[in-house]
Amino acid sequence: MAHLRLGDSAPNFDASTTDGDINFYDWAGDKWVVFFSHPADFTPVCTTELGRAAALNGEFQKRNVKPICISVDGLEEHHAWAKDIGETQGTDLNFPIIADPNKEIANLYDMMHPNASTTATVRSVFIIDPKKKIRLILTYPASCGRNFDEILRVIDALQLSDEYNIATPVDWQDGDDVIIPPSVKNEDIAANYPKGHTEIKPYLRTTPAPNK
């Protein structure tokens, strides 16, 4: 069983999904991926989560992101569950659900936590960049639904830091001031952060959002 950490390469796999058979790397292509797991089909919390993820399709597309989820049930159950999701959440499912009845992929990504449940996956979230590197790992208990606004916020922060060499402070939202990393010397700030900066402490320097 893998114990994946930030910066590791996301394991590749072949799988059957509600959108047909895929190779994960080929399916992901040059996109960012949000890969998240569900304890089981026809469960109430998961139904609301999948509906929310489907409703955010436009937000994911704007960020060059493809969502994909996994449950340890089979394709027949997935297709039947998708109908329930569309009926109860007001939006049709528009991304694939991976069938993993043998739990091979769940174990590959360390989604089985025996002290929580021996039969169902925990609510894992992996954000994977276009180089197939794992950039974020979240793990929720089965009873607690995820916050997809937070998932979008983290994607915004990761993409911004990749492009502009910045860090984001607590509770940051797109458009807020950002932090200049300590590795950047004061004499190099003007050339790299043309909007100016504020030095609160020598190690805490902020600059306006570089993308606005």
Positions marked active-site: 46
Helix (H, G, I), strand (E, B) or coil at 90: coil
148 to 57, 58, 187, 190, 202: CA distances (angstroms): 12, 13, 39, 36, 35
> 97-99 and 65-71: which strand pairing?
parallel
Annotate 144-165 with DSSP letters as a single string: S---HHHHHHHHHHHHHHHHH-
Place of tokens 């952060």: 193
